């Protein structure tokens, strides 16, 4: 199955520079409809207002972390099936295991490039 380049994507990070980097990488890959949120609670509000095809979220944020956001998304009947990729600077095994248990679709360790992002997105959508 090909990845739908027109699907809306939500990028969640408390660091504006990282949002800009991910947005630029997504544009390089052909994605045009990219929104952003500065933390998990802002992201949750956006997720409830609009149907996103993919969430790319940082792990470490205040007040609501990406991990907490993932757990909220997976426990919500409307949002449960939303594909979710976690981005983090930490490659701790226990974090990866916790995210997998919570239902993350894929995991990216910073720093990463467009090719890494593309392969992770392709893996999520079985492309």
pLDDT digits (tens, 9 = 90+) for 68-97: 999 999 999 999 999 999 998 877 889 889
| Rounded Cα gap, residues 26 and 17, in angstroms | 14
Determine contact, residues 127/2, Cβ cutoff 8 Å.
Answer: yes
pLDDT tens digits, 22-44: 999 999 999 999 999 999 999 99
The helix/strand/coil state of 65 is coil
Q: Are 55 and 87 in contact (CB under 8 A)?
A: no
**pLDDT at residue 1 in the model:** 56
pTM of the model as a whole: 0.96
The position carrying tokens 């998990």 is: 40
Domain 9-125, classified CATH 3.40.50.300, yes or no: no
3-state secondary structure of 34: strand
């Amino acid at each position: 199955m090909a990845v739908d380049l027109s699907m809306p994507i939500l990028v969640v990070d408390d660091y504006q520079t990282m949002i800009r980097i991910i947005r630029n990488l997504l544009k390089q890959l052909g994605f045009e409809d990219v929104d952003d949120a500065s933390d998990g609670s802002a992201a949750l509000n956006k997720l409830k207002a609009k149907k996103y095809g993919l969430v790319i979220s940082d792990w470490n944020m205040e007040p609501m972390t990406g991990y907490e956001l993932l757990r909220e998304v997976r426990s919500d009947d409307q949002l449960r099936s939303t594909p979710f990729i976690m981005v983090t600077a930490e490659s701790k095994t226990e974090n990866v295991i916790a995210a997998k248990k919570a239902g993350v679709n894929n995991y990216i360790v910073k720093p990463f490039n467009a090719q890494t992002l593309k392969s992770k997105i392709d893996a999520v959508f079985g492309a």
